[in-house]
């Protein structure tokens, strides 16, 4: 048995006098995370926030929704289904092969080919029945789309609406107006002055005609009655042999009509309009005409035997044949004619002023309205 180890008293006293070691705290300071491995924990989120899609600053700040009513000639190569959906495939199992999808033309791909881009949240739809395009996009892309529609209008068919007016005025009143004013290419101010005379019962609109025509094509409107009359006659004849008894007289045939003509009584308006390349100037070649049956003349005289007398009708005509230049929506002054008699008894010395106005109408047109649908809704 080994004897116990005895420590010196000095070592025991030193151990009793040393302070006890500090105990570890229950919480420790966490080390700062490193960029490579440790990341800050994500804050807690509610279910609504977790399900909400990310918000695009461009969509909420810049996107607008507009509804365009377009002509039926808009994007004619699109199928009815692709027009309605604006680019979403109808068949969910459609092939992704570009060669196959190329045949299925969509409105969105059509607009993208024109340079219109569709960023995040942008969309387009087209309803074939209502002819309405709903476009969700930025203002700059709306401008590109409207420029495309304008190009369709500029390249589309255009028609002319032509208005011809005959206005009866007092010769003295018009002469005074001419003295105080200068005739100009644009006769619209003059026409407004004449309208004031009409309102005051100092002038009268006696005839107006409207006709629609294509540029470069002749157009004609008639409000007439056909009057047929002879123009050539065979002379009277006496039989070569005749037997008379008692007081009988030799039979004589009267002059016999052999050729006839037809004259149109009333109003005839024939015109050849041409729209200039600037789209506003219009060249007109026209010959409006008013014809009245005035009476008859007799040849050789009115007192001649009716058997040997030829009767011819006489006509009173007001006609202007001219070529003028007008601008879209403005009046042109053709000239004056004198009627056979005044239409209204208040006018002692009448003349007829003839005006024409040409309005250009586009067959291809569109309208645009801002939608009440909030930007960001849609496809």
Average pLDDT over all residues of the chain: 78
> Whole-prediction pTM value?
0.62
In the chain, where the domains are located: 54-156, 160-235+253-362
pLDDT of 344 > 70? The answer is: yes
Residue 104, by phi and psi: left (phi above 0), alpha (psi -120 to 50) or beta? beta
Q: What share of the chain has pLDDT > 70, as a percent?
A: 69
Residue 75 has a pLDDT of 67
CA–CA dist 87, 138 (Å, integer): 18
Q: Torsions phi, psi of 3, nearest 5? A: -75, 150
Residue 241 has a pLDDT of 66
pLDDT of 361 > 50? The answer is: yes
Largest CA distance in the chain: 208
Residue 131 has a pLDDT of 86
Q: Kind and range of the H or E element at 234?
A: strand 219-234
Does residue 103 have a cis bond before it (omega within 30 degrees)?
A: no
Which pair of tokens denotes residue 180? 């105080």
């Amino acid at each position: 048995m080994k004897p116990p180890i005895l420590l010196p008293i000095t070592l025991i006293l030193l151990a009793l006098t040393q302070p006890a070691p500090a105990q570890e705290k229950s919480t420790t300071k966490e080390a700062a995370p490193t960029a490579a491995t440790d990341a800050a924990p994500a804050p807690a989120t509610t279910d609504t926030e977790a399900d909400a899609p990310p918000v695009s600053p461009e969509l909420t700040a810049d996107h607008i929704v507009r509804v365009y009513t377009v002509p039926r000639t808009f994007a004619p190569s699109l199928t009815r289904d692709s027009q309605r959906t604006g680019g979403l495939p109808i068949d969910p199992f459609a092939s992704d092969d570009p060669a196959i999808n190329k045949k299925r033309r969509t409105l969105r791909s059509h607009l993208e080919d024109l340079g219109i881009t569709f960023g995040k949240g942008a969309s387009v739809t087209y309803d074939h029945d209502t002819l309405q395009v709903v476009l969700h996009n930025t203002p700059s892309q709306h401008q590109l789309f409207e420029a495309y529609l304008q190009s369709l209008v500029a390249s589309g068919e255009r028609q002319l609406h032509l208005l011809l007016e005959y206005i009866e005025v007092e010769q003295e009143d018009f002469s005074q107006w001419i003295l105080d004013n200068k005739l100009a290419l644009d006769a619209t101010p003059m026409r407004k002055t004449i309208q004031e005379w009409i309102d005051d019962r100092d002038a009268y609109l006696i005839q107006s005609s409207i006709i629609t025509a294509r540029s470069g094509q002749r157009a004609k409107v008639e409000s007439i009655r056909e009057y047929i009359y002879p123009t050539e006659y065979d002379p009277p004849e006496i039989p070569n042999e005749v037997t008379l008894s008692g007081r009988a007289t030799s039979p004589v045939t009267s002059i016999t009509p052999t050729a006839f003509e037809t004259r149109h009584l009333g109003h005839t308006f024939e015109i050849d309009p041409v729209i200039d390349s600037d789209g506003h100037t219009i060249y007109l070649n026209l010959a409006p005409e008013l014809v009245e049956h005035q009476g008859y003349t007799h040849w050789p005289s009115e007192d001649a035997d009716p058997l040997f007398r030829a009767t011819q009708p006489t006509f009173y005509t007001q006609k202007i044949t001219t070529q003028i230049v007008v601008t879209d929506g403005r009046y042109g002054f053709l000239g004056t004619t004198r009627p056979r008699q005044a239409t209204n008894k208040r006018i002692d010395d009448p003349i007829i002023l003839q005006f024409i106005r040409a309005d250009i109408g586009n067959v291809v047109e569109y309208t645009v309205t801002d939608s009440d649908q909030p930007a960001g809704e849609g496809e």
